[in-house]
Amino acid sequence: MSKDSIKMELNNNQIERYSRQIVLKEIGGIGQKRLLKSKITIIGLGGLGSTTAYYLAGAGIGNLKIIDFDYVDLSNIHRQILHFTKDINKKKTESAFEKLTSLNPDCNIEKIDGKIVPKNIESIIKNSDFVIDGSDNFSTKMLINDACVKLKIPFTIAGALRYHGQIITVVPKKKTTCYRCVFGNITEEASGMSCSQAGVIGVIPGIMGSIEAFEAIKYLLDFGELLTNKILFVDLLTNQYNYINVFRDVECLTCGDNSNINLMDSGSEINDKC
Amino acid sequence: MSQKNITELDIKGKLCPMTFVYTKLALEKLKSGDTLNITLDYPPAVENIPENCKRQGLAKILDIKQLKDDIWSISLEKI
């Protein structure tokens, strides 16, 4: 992020638009200008990604890169808040682009129609200040993890299924526990089910996606506590919010002391997003 | 010794919370020890601006004056 960020001036429209954030002690005009200069990449525009994108655009993140290969389906709409009934069969990137630019014209949206794969992920995320995972499958989450650790870009990975969610933030420069340290080489087969099979209540990706958005904001403005070296598990059925401490694995294939990241070994397919 | 600057801010016509928003943005541009003199006409802001400045540790309250029936001035020193 540019050190010049605080030299820009907020116009009257921006002062009004972001007034409720500027009032906050930790944000102010200086923080708001920093957000307007920030670059965030959101991978997947389903339940998690569309919620994250909505709040980040609303918060005034100046540059959002959004990626998805899929088309809006009727079964997505109960949880994927950027997509409306009129958008069925539209590309999710197009649907999201329309809503986000309408939501906040300050936000420059770059849309990428396509799958995130080992071949393209580094060029897509390389200039990002933060990366958000909005995918619903382990192979994509591992790919995001591995590429972000390799490029030392901070990121948040979340998951949502049925009534439950979990989330972790990783800051590679601080060598915090990475997603692979926790989940190893878990695969879709080992994990069991996706949203389409297990079901998901719409609010759970909404909640987890909202937390992802605030993790990015906290990182960018350097305040509060991040969900690093711990996983937050949310169980909305019983209203339990539990933190599990997790530790960096010195033998982790991604961030371990002798790791040598080869993205071609990481997973690569985004299926239908939660 | 560095020069202490005095800046004037007219926020007549602004309501809360915009009165504090404009005050905060003006204070951000000042150096520690500089003075901000605010003119305002929204009565609740006469309490809200000093209270929020204290709570956020932004400024010391130097003076609060009622200039006319519906006009006040608040002098702040940036912390």
pLDDT in tens, B31-78: 999 999 999 999 999 999 999 999 999 999 999 999 999 999 999 999
Interface list for B 56-75 with A (CB within 8 A): 56-57
Residue of chain A whose alpha carbon sits nearest to that of B18: A19
Q: Say if residue A84's pLDDT is above 80.
A: yes
**What is the mean pLDDT of the segment spanning A233-260?**
95
Q: Would you say residue A107 has pLDDT above 80?
A: yes
Q: Which residue type sits at A170?
A: V
Mean pLDDT computed over A227-234: 98
The 3-class secondary structure across A103-133, one letter per residue, is: HCCCCEEEEEECCCCCCCHHHHHCCCCEEEE
What are the φ and ψ backbone dihedral angles of B72, each rounded to 5 degrees?
-125, 160
The CATH H-level superfamily of A38-265 is NAD(P)-binding Rossmann-like Domain (3.40.50.720)
Distances in whole angstroms, Cα of residue A172 to Cα of each of A153, A224, B63: 7, 18, 49
pLDDT at A4 over 60: no
- Calculate the average pLDDT of chain A: 93
Q: Over chain B, what HEC string results? A: CCCCCEEEEECCCCCCCHHHHHHHHHHHCCCCCCEEEEEECCHHHHHHHHHHHHHCCCEEEEEEEEEECCEEEEEEEEC
Interior angle at CA A3, CA A31 and CA A213, nearest 5: 40
A74-92 mean pLDDT = 98
Q: What is the mean pLDDT of residues A79-88?
A: 98
Name which of A14, A18, A22 to mutate to probe chain B: the one with the most chain B Cβ atoms within 10 A of its Cβ. Answer: A22
| Alpha-carbon separation of residue A81 from A100, A119, A207 (angstroms) | 11, 30, 12
Is pLDDT at A262 greater than 90 in this prediction?
Answer: no
Q: How high is the mean pLDDT of chain B?
A: 96
ipTM value for the complex: 0.92
| Residue in B with minimal Cα distance to A22 | B21
Q: Which domain holds residue B40?
A: 6-78
The radius of gyration of chain A's CA atoms, rounded to the nearest angstrom, is 18
B24: nearest CB among A16, A20, A28:
A28
Q: Is B28 on the interface with A (CB under 8 A)?
A: yes
Q: How confident is the model at residue A3 (pLDDT cuts 50, 70, 90)?
A: very low
Q: Is the pLDDT score of A86 beyond 60?
A: yes
Number of domains in chain B: 1
Which residues of B participate in catalysis according to the annotation?
16
Residue B45: inside a domain: yes
Q: From chain B, pick out residues whose CB is under 8 angstroms from the CB of A25.
A: 55-57
The shortest C-alpha distance from B71 to chain A (Å) reads: 23
pLDDT: is A208 or A198 the higher one?
A208
Chain A residues whose beta carbon lies within 8 Å of the beta carbon of residue B11: none
The answer to whether position B1 is within a domain reads no
Closest by Cβ to B28, choosing from A20, A25, A29: A29
Contact present, A217 and A178 (Cβ < 8 Å) = no
Q: What's the CATH number where B43 sits?
A: 3.30.110.40
CB A194 within 8 A of CB A137: yes
Residue A265 pLDDT:
75
Rounded CA-CA distance A266/A260 in Å is 12
Q: Please, which pLDDT band fits residue A190 given cuts at 50, 70 and 90?
A: low
Looking at the complex, report in whole angstroms how far the Cα of residue B52 sits from the nearest Cα belonging to chain A: 9
Is the pLDDT at A121 greater than 70? The verdict is: yes
Question: Quick one: CA torsion of A202, A204, A206, A210, rounded to 10 degrees?
Answer: 180
The stretch A236-250 carries a mean pLDDT of: 97
Residues 6+ apart with CB under 8 A from A15: A22, A29, B18, B21, B22, B25
Q: How far is B54 from chain A (nearest CA, A)?
A: 11
A268 pLDDT more than 60: no
Residue A193 has a pLDDT of: 64
Structure tokens at A260: 């040598």
For B21, which of A22, A25, A30 is closest by C-beta distance? A22
A72-86, A105-119, A180-194: least confident range: A180-194
pLDDT, tens only, A126-163: 999 999 999 989 999 999 999 999 999 999 999 999 99
Average pLDDT over residues A17-46: 98
pLDDT average, residue stretch A206-218: 98
